[in-house]
Amino acid sequence: MQIAKTKGKIVIIGSGFVGSTTAFAISMSGIASEIILVDANKEKAMGEALDINHGLSFISQMIITDGDYSDIKEADVIIITAGSGRKPGESRFDLAKKNADIFKDMAAKIMAHYTGGVILVVSNPVDVLTYLMQKLTGLPEGKVIGTGTVLDSSRFRYLLSEHCKIDVRNVHGYIIGEHGDSEVPVWSATNIAGKLLDQYCSVCKNRCGNVERERIAKDVKDSGAKIIKYKGATYYAIALSINRIVEAILKSQNSILTVSSVINGAYGISDVALSLPSVINSSGIEKIYDIVLREEELNALHDSAKKIKETIDKIM
Ligand code: NAD
């Protein structure tokens, strides 16, 4: 397989916890040549760029600056982390409405300077905002993607690796559907170094019945809220998830990641954004990678699509 040479101009809109940690993660991984931080609070973007610049002598050569929407010209990836997280007492719908208003304003500013590249939505609710951004920009579905359940899939693999006492890199599994309460663990395809979990569990001495599976799936769902309770925000693992997606795009790796995108037909689902295993390269999503789902997984995916659609219908 031909590996494309890294070029890598990245614009990050929103330099809060997630945006700045993402800039740091990308600078550490050395996959990009240029990062521009844009924020409504310009001094915040300036400060974050300076802070990372002051460590460049210890890592790779690159350009990190603050900037504005005109920097979107010739960007390979435009990452959107702008908008707020959920405040105590605020409903998911209130957050969706607030961030949707920010996105409506932002889409026009992005398109005024857009020359290509992939738009990567991180702000929550990520599926609803990915849908909104794709519709507002009119770009092809594969060019506007959301981080979706890439983070949830990583949490799933981590929790399974802890339970099974196996290196997380040898544990493979996907969470699909909504990044949120209705997400769906694909137990039928989960495997450890190629051995399906059902077979693995029959020889492993550890407990691994439905009770354990339900606990792990619930822990994945509750992870974000738990971290927010402990420290106020989540940013390290999402920054690493973003770094992984950006790497797949810049190096055109044809990596399969559970990003969110507007689905039109896969699994009988249409006109909603949600996460499915997707082949990612420099064009964005090359194609949805069709995996066989059990009937109960397919039904849960349809329920998840319905739930996301309800919020989309309320804010559009
Ligand atoms: P934050 O409040 O620390 O940062 C948000 C930043 O956006 C602030 O610096 C703010 O000034 C900026 N901003 C607001 N409106 C803007 C606009 N119109 N243009 C430019 N900048 C603007 O929040 P955070 O913790 O960094 O989280 C950011 C978003 O990421 C939230 O919506 C959060 O829920 C989401 N998030 C998503 C995931 C995921 O898995 N998808 C994980 C963690 C956080």
**What's the pLDDT tens digit per position in 170-193?**
999 999 999 999 999 999 999 999
Residues 84 and 188 both lie in one domain: no
Q: Which residue, judged by its Cα, is nearest atom 2 of ligand 1?
A: 84
Is residue 59 left, alpha or beta, with left meaning phi > 0 and alpha meaning psi from -120 to 50?
A: beta
Residues 113 and 197 both lie in one domain: no
Inside any domain, residue 84: yes
Distance 309 CA to ligand 1 centre (A): 23
Residues 77 and 166 both lie in one domain: no
Residues 216 and 137 both lie in one domain: no
Residues 86 and 178 both lie in one domain: no
The last residue of one of the domains, among 102, 118, 146, is: 146
Question: Which of the four pLDDT bands, split at 50, 70 and 90, describes residue 91?
Answer: confident
Residues 83 and 126 both lie in one domain: yes
Q: Which atom of ligand 1 is nearest to the CA of 95?
A: 32
Distance 279 CA to ligand 1 centre (A): 26
Which residues sit with their C-beta closer than 6 Å to ligand 1? 13-19, 39-41, 44, 81-85, 99, 102, 106, 122-124, 126, 147, 151, 179, 233-234, 238
Radius of gyration of the chain (CA): 19
Comparing CA positions, the residue from 123, 116, 117, 115 lying closest to residue 39 is 123
Identify any residues that bridge with 80 across adjacent strands, giving them in sequence order: 13, 121
From CA 164, how far away is CA 151, in angstroms rounded? 20
Residue 272 pLDDT greater than 50, yes or no: yes
Is the four-CA dihedral 81, 114, 73, 113 of positive or negative sign?
negative
Residue 30 pLDDT greater than 50, yes or no: yes
Best of 12, 90, 123, 259 for a ligand 1 pocket test (most atoms within 8 Å of beta carbon): 123
DSSP 8-class letter at 177: B
75: CATH: 3.40.50.720
Give catalytic status of residue 179 as yes or no.
yes
The whole domain housing 28 covers: 9-146
Residue 5 pLDDT greater than 60, yes or no: no
Inside any domain, residue 20: yes
Inside any domain, residue 39: yes
Distance 117 CA to ligand 1 centre (A): 21
Inside any domain, residue 3: no
Inside any domain, residue 310: yes
Q: Mean per-residue pLDDT for 61-79? A: 97
Inside any domain, residue 34: yes
Residues 38 and 142 both lie in one domain: yes
Residues 43 and 164 both lie in one domain: no
From CA 116, how far away is CA 120, in angstroms rounded? 13
Q: Which residue, judged by its Cα, is nearest atom 29 of ligand 1?
A: 123
Best of 44, 78, 124 for a ligand 1 pocket test (most atoms within 8 Å of beta carbon): 124
Residues 210 and 300 both lie in one domain: yes
Which entry of 54, 113, 172, 179 is annotated as an active-site residue?
179
The last residue of one of the domains, among 146, 173, 194, is: 146
Neighbours of 214 (CB within 10 A): 11
Residue 88 pLDDT greater than 80, yes or no: no
Distance 147 CA to ligand 1 centre (A): 13
Residues 90 and 217 both lie in one domain: no
253: CATH: 3.90.110.10
Residues 103 and 123 both lie in one domain: yes
Residues 158 and 126 both lie in one domain: no
The last residue of one of the domains, among 146, 179, 203, is: 146
Q: Which residue, judged by its Cα, is nearest atom 39 of ligand 1?
A: 122
Number of domains within the chain: 2
Helix (H, G, I), strand (E, B) or coil at 86: coil
pLDDT averaged over every residue in the chain: 94
Q: Tell me: the pLDDT tens digits for 246-268?
A: 999 999 999 999 999 999 999 99
Inside any domain, residue 2: no
Inside any domain, residue 1: no
Question: Which of the four pLDDT bands, split at 50, 70 and 90, describes residue 58?
Answer: very high
